[in-house]
Amino acid sequence: MSDFFTGVAFFLIIEGLVYALAPRFLVTMARLLPSIPEQQLRLSGLVAIAAGVGLVWLIRA
């Protein structure tokens, strides 16, 4: 369970860095999101999940 909370903590750190270091970029991306097709967003999410699972697998192996 501590690994899970460590992962959540790292997520919050990375998310916070985006808000702290590139707020203008974040606002621009938020404006662009409605114009991106849903299928492309879904595929991007699935690729990110697969990459994350692959990285965890490589790190833990």
What whole-number distance in Å separates Cα of residue 57 and Cα of residue 61?
A: 6
pLDDT of residue 46: 97
Q: 10: which 2 tokens?
A: 């790292």
What whole-number distance in Å separates Cα of residue 60 and Cα of residue 7?
A: 13
What whole-number distance in Å separates Cα of residue 28 and Cα of residue 42?
A: 20
pLDDT of residue 45: 96
Contact 19, 26 (CB under 8 A): yes
Break the chain into its structural domains and give their ranges. Answer: 2-60
Query: How many residues are recorded in the chain?
Result: 61
The tens digit of pLDDT for each residue in 19-54 reads 999 999 999 999 999 999 999 999 999 999 999 999
Q: Is the pTM of this model over 0.85?
A: no
